[in-house]
Amino acid sequence: MLHSSLFWKKHFEHNITKQRVDWNQPPHITQFEKENILYSLKAWQLGETSDGKHLLAAATKYAARINDPVYPEAVKLFIKEEQKHGNNLGKYIDQLGEKRMKKDWGDTLFRKIRYLNTSMELWTITVIIVESAAQVFYQALHDATSCALLKEICTDILIDEAHHIKFQNERMFMIFQQKKFYNKAISIGLYALLFFLTIHAIWFGHGKALQAGKVSKKDFMRQMYYKFFKSMQFLHAPHADEQRAFEYKEARVLF
């Protein structure tokens, strides 16, 4: 099913009002848990704090081309939700009395790619891959700790991320449908290459924390392949009639 940008805008506006974390409880994390997960927790916190300037610029340019002025507003709210994740994780790190991370190789690499990237397609596929990994990572973090506060933070993120993937999969479908047959085939190959490189970089950086949450390398790769396969399947599903239907509806609103 495909949703309009207005639907997503309303979804994000509503979702941000949900308070799912009880900050009255103190953090309880053992030394053993800290050794396994703290580095990754700090690195993902840093990754969630981007100002989203480049993504918003790409979305604004793209939206002007397809005449969808509401899309950048939805993207702005999506970025705000990611920043909420960064703020919650940051607040948790502060409450532990730990220092927040300022620099991390994975974050630096990703920021460089973001800086150079002005294509909505590349943005969307990258976000889909990273969000899919985030789902596995935050579930592992949830399972790797006995701290009720951290578990609630992870659950809140997991609820948001499920919608983020839907939001991005739908956009990816719309972009993909504009391509001709050979272009589609080449694109799938490039997405798969990007996917392959990203999941190995994530395992290299965060395998220890994932294993602490009982996710072995084999489990991680299997879960990631399944999620990627689902996203690729979504690109090929017959949503074209629905897309035409709501393009028609939105066109009627516009004119």
185's CB contacts (< 8 A; 6+ apart) are none
CA–CA distances in Å: residue 64 to residues 2, 68, 167: 20, 6, 19
Residue 131 binds to Fe ion (criterion: CB under 5 A): yes
Which residues, 47 to 66, sit near Fe ion by CB under 5 A?
48
Answer yes or no: are the C-beta atoms of 27 and 150 closer than 8 Å. Answer: yes
Minimum Å gap between C-beta 15 and Fe ion is 12
Q: Closer CB to Fe ion, residue 19 or residue 31?
A: 19
Helix axes 71-96, 53-66, angle to 10 degrees: 160
Residue 42 binds to Fe ion (criterion: CB under 5 A): no
Dihedral of alpha carbons 117, 172, 67, 49, sign: negative
Distance of CA 119 to the CA centre of its chain: 17
Q: Closer CB to Fe ion, residue 47 or residue 72?
A: 47
- Within 10 angstroms of residue 226's Cβ, the number of other Cβ atoms is 10
CB hemisphere CA count around 2 (13 angstroms): 22
Minimum Å gap between C-beta 157 and Fe ion is 6
Minimum Å gap between C-beta 49 and Fe ion is 10
Q: Which of 42, 85, 114, 206 binds Fe ion (CB under 5 A)?
A: 85
Residue 107 binds to Fe ion (criterion: CB under 5 A): no
Minimum Å gap between C-beta 189 and Fe ion is 25
Size of the site for Fe ion (CB under 5 A): 6
Which residues, 159 to 198, sit near Fe ion by CB under 5 A?
161, 164
Task: Give the binding site for Fe ion (CB under 5 A).
Answer: 48, 82, 85, 131, 161, 164
